[in-house]
Structure 1
Amino acid sequence: MFSDLSAQREGSSLLCRPASEGQGPVFERVQLAYTSRSERFGLGERNFNRQYAHIYAARLMQMSPLLAERAQQKWGADVCIQKLCDLKTGEQCCIVGTLFKHMELQPSILKEISEEHNLLPQPARDKYICDTDELILEDELQRIKLEGNIDKDKCVTGSVIAIYGAEKNDGKFTVEDFCTADLPLQKTRPTLDCDKFVLLASGLGLGSSNADSMLGLQLLVDMVTGQLGDQGEQSGAATVSRVLLVGNLLSQSTQEKEASTKAKYLTKKNQAGSVEAMRLLDELLHQLVASVPVDVMPGQYDPTNYTLPQQPLHRCMFPLSNVYPTLQLASNPYQADVDGVRFLGTSGQNVSDIHKYSSMESHLDILEATLRLRHLAPTAPDTLGCYPFYQKDPFIIEECPHVYFSGSAPSFDYRVLTGPEGQEVLLVTVPEFSSTQMACLINLRTLKCEPISFSAFSGDDDDESEMNISH
């Protein structure tokens, strides 16, 4: 069993002390220093009367000096950096601008209106790219079509890049090379004297009819809180010093089928499903927060604003767990320092959107691409809903994280990425727990990442069931 958090001291290490007669030893959970860095994702005054062009202008203005510096590093300090309005035919130069990809298959409100008038509907697609797509670069005043040495299928609208080449007689710019802002500077990761773990789980999918998912979820809670295993396993579980729930806490089944595409009123059916799912979530959190600090991020199907950045879930939804100071309701995107290790990540909407509008298949490759672009959500606001910021783009990555993650991924995967100036970043795709029964553990001392699986399966010939927990 674990001691209650209220009785623990700041900075205490893992201890095993004898309890009263008839009880097993009591393990004290390893404590971590924690600082939230998500202030820039908070929304104060909410004004949706502004045009979305402002966020593109702010993005380009913030990132242009970074791209100019990278261009000089790559192509020489004397490289000619031009504006589109000053471009001369045949002149070799560099241009910094924002990509726009014209896509014939991209869904639009006009096509949806056409469907309502009984015209030929568009088929559902996993990808919206095709051979006729065109890549265009925009700066503050003009735009120009691109061709040449740049893979249009891998590019997405909203990416700020620097291109090198020349304009030809046909009015198109032939790209010879291009570069992104690449990884920003990174603070030195502190040296820790013992293993401390952060557990990441995503896509709990509460409110679905999957009984195995609920059983696996309860096994996860019991493991973290020290209710499973022998003393050795309990002492190991005590090194799990923080739990991060990465969005999609509720199942998609708590939404109406057309909720993502059409306006709706809350019916009694989906209202009851959402309320019951939130009650289950509160009960699970109540078990967790009595033993370990927990950060809760919202996701696509959770009861908060739909557009990014999603604001923290309201505390009134958690009457049982809200009384514990260990419950931290966080925004999506999320940023925090955990014992000096910088965590940055999202619940996965940005990665899923890029997956639909590019040829990249791996969520891990997309995660790396956004880090090299220094932007969490380049496709916002074009195909991904976001708040109309006008003075500053908060999705620009200004400081390189040590751990960069995304949730609701189809599978678990990780990679250590090394930057041009020695930055080391652990990229992690956190799998959807409701379908994979899998979470992941990150060791803050070594930045090693490993999956932890909770499975329940029944034999075909009898009613006995077997449960398995594996690292």
Structure 2
Amino acid sequence: MAQFERKSVEFEDFGKFLIQSKNFSRQFCGIYQARLASLKAKVSDRAKLKWNNRTILSIVDLTKDEYKEYPCIVIGTLYKYQELKPSILKEIANELQAVPQPPRLHYCSPKDMLFLEDDVARIKLVGDLPLNALVTGLVCAIYGQGLNDGSFLVKDFCFPGPSLKPLTQLPSTSTNDHGKLLLFLSGLDLVNQVNNLPMELLADWIIGFLGNESIQEEAANIVRVIIAGNSVRGSSEIFTRKGYFQNKKKDCQFAAEIHQAIYKLDCFLSKITKSCSVILLPGEFDPSCYVIPQHPFHPKILPTASKGGNLYGATNPWIGKIGSRIIGGSSGQPILDIMKLSNIEDSPLSCLEKTLEWQHFAPTAPDTLSEYPFDKSDPLIMNEYPNIYFVGNMEKYETKLVQGIDGIDDSEGRPIRLICIPKFSTSHTAVLVNLESLHTQSISFGSA
């Protein structure tokens, strides 16, 4: 019987999302100030290139008489007013009603308005803007002119990130990653997983216990397994004030379910890590902090799998280097939040692509997505463009290959593979990616 040695590859965690000291006493305004300060120079360069060195003014300058109806560029952070957005006061009011109101899945409405603000002032935007395709928190350059009513007429706009075009063929590469594969999973949801056969087949295939020699050789080429969140639980039950004491009785059952699911996850990972290295990201409903960046799983939560040294707990979002490729992505919260607040073709893949142009992993944080209150910097700014950019816990598998075409930054000519990883608990599907060719394929372990 043939034996195959698993291929190895260099690994580096950039560590940009690790929080060294936790201080929740700060205000969240510091995040927007740091975001604007970091991206202002880049978006300014793009604006000058796009609009032939037009004058760049601050929002306060627009109040001066000499700049009334003067064609110019203003730079700031977008704020999208949406009356349907979640509000703690509305939530309390709904709880006190006789009939609980169903949660909204989308917050866009015809009454939405867009504003641009900097460190000093705010101005209302009118004119040619795709309101439904934008969200709060984007650093943006706006070309237009101020109006007498105090608003700003928009003629065009641009963002700090690269312009992108679809790719049908990859440019030639000279990497040393030939044949080396990454395997992506997400949404194991072990609390609600009744059928364990797909996970058992998946583990057996990874460690080489399934298939003929050619299948085993392919499995030996997997250099890393990346699990993108919601491994323990894939959803959460929402309790209201009504029936509070009855809901409290569910706490013991809830804790027992979590304990059993963590034990199953530990057994599953310990089986894989005997043969292959695993990168584990937390998800929205996993035992980790709720705010992003979420810190890694504590090693004591998974005692057996953590012993061998092949289990690496990563943050969510996460970015690092595997072989010669930069890999980055999240467990899904940033993309799902953007989809609620916009109408970007109603596709998570389109939202994922937009975050490259916006140059930010989670622009809606901290407005509608909980985020740690940074003040001096915003680590969620995308300073390094990944070659493989993923999002977990999506409804279906999707992928797209794009390439930066803007000459201002070093992303020109760099291929970027976008991947939506489906929930394994419902699809029984994982995603294989070739590190050299960036060729991507789904692989299923069930009838779904």
1:303 to 284, 287, 293: 287
Q: For residues 394 and 413 of structure 1, what CA distance do their matches in structure 2 show?
A: 27
Task: Report whether the alignment pairs 1:57 with 2:33.
Answer: yes
Q: For residues 72 and 101 of structure 2, what CA distance do their matches in structure 1 show?
A: 41
Task: Report whether the alignment pairs 1:371 with 2:356.
Answer: yes
- Kindly indicate whether the alpha-carbon contact (under 8 Å) linking 2:227 and 2:280 is maintained by their aligned counterparts in 1: yes
Amino acid at match of 1:64: K
Deviation at 1:182, TM superposition (A): 1.6
Partner of 1:426: 417
Deviation at 1:418, TM superposition (A): 1.1
Partner of 2:371: 386
How does 1:300-339 map onto structure 2 within 5 Å?
300-339=284-323
Deviation at 1:235, TM superposition (A): 1.1
Q: Structure 1, residues 44-83: CA drift from partner, whole Å, max 9, x if none?
A: 211111000010111011111111011011111x211100
Deviation at 1:230, TM superposition (A): 1.1
Partner of 1:219: 201
Task: Report whether the alignment pairs 1:230 with 2:230.
Answer: no
Q: Could you list the structure 1 runs, at least 4 aligned residues long, displaced by more than 6 angstroms after superposition.
A: none
Q: Tell me the secondary structure at the aligned position of residue 322 of structure 1.
A: helix
Task: Report whether the alignment pairs 1:31 with 2:5.
Answer: no
Partner of 2:168: none
How does 1:75-114 map onto structure 2 within 5 Å?
75-76=51-52, 78-87=53-62, 88-114=67-93
Deviation at 1:364, TM superposition (A): 0.5
TM-score normalised according to structure 2 size = 0.91
1:168 to 141, 147, 166: 147
Deviation at 1:267, TM superposition (A): 1.6
- Residue identity over aligned pairs, in percent, reads 38
Q: For residues 227 and 282 of structure 1, what CA distance do their matches in structure 2 show?
A: 20
Amino acid at match of 1:230: N
Partner of 1:359: 343
Q: For residues 296 and 190 of structure 1, what CA distance do their matches in structure 2 show?
A: 29
Q: For residues 394 and 193 of structure 1, what CA distance do their matches in structure 2 show?
A: 29
- Kindly indicate whether the alpha-carbon contact (under 8 Å) linking 2:193 and 2:425 is maintained by their aligned counterparts in 1: no
Deviation at 1:183, TM superposition (A): 3.0
Amino acid at match of 1:36: D
Q: Give the direction of change, closer, same or farther, for the CA distance of 1:84–1:287 in structure 2 (3 Å limit).
A: same
Deviation at 1:352, TM superposition (A): 0.3
Q: Give the direction of change, closer, same or farther, for the CA distance of 1:456–1:411 in structure 2 (3 Å limit).
A: closer
Amino acid at match of 1:50: R
Q: For residues 148 and 156 of structure 1, what CA distance do their matches in structure 2 show?
A: 17
Q: For residues 147 and 371 of structure 1, what CA distance do their matches in structure 2 show?
A: 25
- Kindly indicate whether the alpha-carbon contact (under 8 Å) linking 1:183 and 1:400 is maintained by their aligned counterparts in 2: no
Amino acid at match of 1:258: F
- Kindly indicate whether the alpha-carbon contact (under 8 Å) linking 1:105 and 1:128 is maintained by their aligned counterparts in 2: yes
Q: Which deviates more from structure 2 when the two are superposed, residues 109-118 or residues 287-296?
A: 109-118
Q: For residues 82 and 362 of structure 1, what CA distance do their matches in structure 2 show?
A: 36
Q: Give the direction of change, closer, same or farther, for the CA distance of 1:193–1:105 in structure 2 (3 Å limit).
A: closer
Partner of 2:229: 247
Q: Give the direction of change, closer, same or farther, for the CA distance of 1:93–1:189 in structure 2 (3 Å limit).
A: farther
Q: Tell me the secondary structure at the aligned position of residue 455 of structure 1.
A: coil
Q: Tell me the secondary structure at the aligned position of residue 445 of structure 2.
A: strand
Q: Structure 1, residues 365-414: CA drift from partner, whole Å, max 9, x if none?
A: 00011111000000000000000000000000011111111100111111
Partner of 1:147: 126
Task: Report whether the alignment pairs 1:450 with 2:434.
Answer: no
Deviation at 1:417, TM superposition (A): 1.1
Q: For residues 174 and 85 of structure 2, what CA distance do their matches in structure 1 show?
A: 45
Partner of 2:167: none
Deviation at 1:189, TM superposition (A): 6.7
Q: Structure 1, residues 112-166: CA drift from partner, whole Å, max 9, x if none?
A: 2222443886542221100010001101111111111111111000011101000
Amino acid at match of 1:70: R
Q: For residues 171 and 248 of structure 1, what CA distance do their matches in structure 2 show?
A: 47
- Kindly indicate whether the alpha-carbon contact (under 8 Å) linking 1:184 and 1:399 is maintained by their aligned counterparts in 2: no
Q: Tell me the secondary structure at the aligned position of residue 303 of structure 2.
A: coil
Q: Tell me the secondary structure at the aligned position of residue 406 of structure 1.
A: strand
Deviation at 1:296, TM superposition (A): 0.5
Amino acid at match of 1:318: L
Q: Structure 1, residues 194-217: CA drift from partner, whole Å, max 9, x if none?
A: 211000000011111431xx2111
Q: For residues 32 and 156 of structure 1, what CA distance do their matches in structure 2 show?
A: 38
Q: For residues 145 and 55 of structure 1, what CA distance do their matches in structure 2 show?
A: 21
* Contiguous gaps of at least 5 residues in structure 1: 1-23, 458-471
Task: Report whether the alignment pairs 1:203 with 2:203.
Answer: no
Partner of 2:429: 438
Q: Give the direction of change, closer, same or farther, for the CA distance of 1:121–1:162 in structure 2 (3 Å limit).
A: farther
Q: For residues 299 and 140 of structure 2, what CA distance do their matches in structure 1 show?
A: 41
Q: For residues 139 and 45 of structure 1, what CA distance do their matches in structure 2 show?
A: 28
Task: Report whether the alignment pairs 1:272 with 2:249.
Answer: no
- Kindly indicate whether the alpha-carbon contact (under 8 Å) linking 1:192 and 1:445 is maintained by their aligned counterparts in 2: yes
Amino acid at match of 1:180: F
Deviation at 1:168, TM superposition (A): 1.5
Q: Tell me the secondary structure at the aligned position of residue 320 of structure 1.
A: helix
Q: Give the direction of change, closer, same or farther, for the CA distance of 1:135–1:193 in structure 2 (3 Å limit).
A: closer
* Contiguous gaps of at least 5 residues in structure 2: 165-171, 407-411
Q: Give the direction of change, closer, same or farther, for the CA distance of 1:446–1:313 in structure 2 (3 Å limit).
A: same
Amino acid at match of 1:229: G
Partner of 2:392: 407
Partner of 1:178: 157
Q: Give the direction of change, closer, same or farther, for the CA distance of 1:96–1:50 in structure 2 (3 Å limit).
A: same
Partner of 1:257: 238
- Kindly indicate whether the alpha-carbon contact (under 8 Å) linking 2:176 and 2:324 is maintained by their aligned counterparts in 1: no
Amino acid at match of 1:28: E
Q: Tell me the secondary structure at the aligned position of residue 307 of structure 2.
A: coil
Amino acid at match of 1:341: R
In the comparison of the two structures, how many residue pairs are matched? 424
- Kindly indicate whether the alpha-carbon contact (under 8 Å) linking 1:283 and 1:320 is maintained by their aligned counterparts in 2: yes
Q: Give the direction of change, closer, same or farther, for the CA distance of 1:209–1:404 in structure 2 (3 Å limit).
A: closer
